[in-house]
Amino acid sequence: MNRRISALTSTGRTLDGGVMFGDTPRNHWAEWISPDNDNKVKLASRALLVQEAGQNILVLAGSEALLAPLPRTCGCQKRARGLLDALAEQGLGEDDIHIVVLGHLHARLSARQTVAVQNGETPRLLFANARYLIGERHWFRARHPHPRDRALFVAQILNLLQASNRIELLMEAHSTLLGNGWQFHFSDGYTPGQLLPEIAMPGGPVLFAGDLIPGSHWLELAVTSGYDRNPECVVGEKERLLDHLVSERGRVFFCRDPDVAMVKVMRDRQSRYLAYDLYRALSRFES
């Protein structure tokens, strides 16, 4: 099957660096990503577009990108680059998407989106022609969140998804909706039931690492995030997946790395995972 993948980059986000790097000392992670005066680091917002057999499939790490852009309050206001802008660069529009794979349902809304939701003006869901593929265990978690992560699930988005009647809940490693060439790993370290799709490509599989491995600096096993619900679980899950990719000569796709979209991985004599064959951008990648 002819399959092409592209990275779709939207306006990034800014998060607390200390939280993103967990118990990694600041003097270490500040050399990797320079923080601002408030200790915040700039991260990417990167989605994966897979084109195959006449279908356009989006893979997202969270649910905030599902909301339609808010209208500008005045003509002079600069509009932030969004997912639809990145799709347009690939010659696609909202109605051209057939399937949306949601790795998890956390949503980090912008200030304007938060105000709109609080005022009962939640934007509509994008991709009206698409089926939404979600892990069944994670859907249950989103509908019955723990107090530690309740704020990361936006009830209005979940209600819109449920009302769409276009949700497909996944319980196994393979999906009849997507067929051959797709394999799903389930991860509980960052959030219970996160979906991590592995996509077969001629030059080796590509793993959408979601927020289990948000960027190249998190390839180091000991580097975890304060957002992880189970950091010890994260370490074991990363090792199993990365060993699998090393054996298959596969690649990792990063959704948060500010500089790198995709890498191959090797393990050195000290058992450290090292990135090589870096792709800073990705458009219609086939090999």
What residues does each domain of the chain span? 3-279
Rounded Cα distance between 107 and 119, Å, is 17
Predicted confidence at residue 77, as pLDDT, reads 67
Predicted confidence at residue 261, as pLDDT, reads 98
Inform me whether the pLDDT recorded for 74 exceeds 70.
no
- pTM for this one? 0.95
Predicted confidence at residue 247, as pLDDT, reads 96
What's the whole-number mean pLDDT along residues 93-102? 98
Query: Per mean pLDDT, which range of 18-22, 253-257, 283-287 is the poorest?
Result: 283-287
Residues whose CB falls within 8 Å of the CB of residue 196, separated by 6 or more in sequence, listed in order = 103, 184, 185, 186, 187, 207, 208, 209, 210, 212, 241
What's the whole-number mean pLDDT along residues 48-53? 96
At 183, phi and psi to the nearest 5?
Answer: -130, 140
The label of the residue with tokens 């339609």 reads 68
At residue 271 the predicted structure's pLDDT band, cuts being 50, 70 and 90, is: confident
Rounded Cα distance between 188 and 279, Å, is 28
Residues whose CB falls within 8 Å of the CB of residue 144, separated by 6 or more in sequence, listed in order = none
Rounded Cα distance between 274 and 171, Å, is 32
Predicted confidence at residue 102, as pLDDT, reads 98
CATH of span 3-279: 3.60.15.10
Rounded Cα distance between 210 and 90, Å, is 22
What's the whole-number mean pLDDT along residues 261-282? 95
Q: pLDDT tens-digit profile of 206-234?
A: 999 999 999 999 999 999 999 999 999 99
Q: pLDDT tens-digit profile of 3-39?
A: 999 999 999 999 999 999 999 999 999 999 999 999 9
Inform me whether the pLDDT recorded for 1 exceeds 80.
no
Q: 164 versus 72: which is more confidently predicted? A: 164
At residue 71 the predicted structure's pLDDT band, cuts being 50, 70 and 90, is: confident
Which amino acid does the sequence have at 273? Answer: Y
Supply the DSSP symbol for 67: B
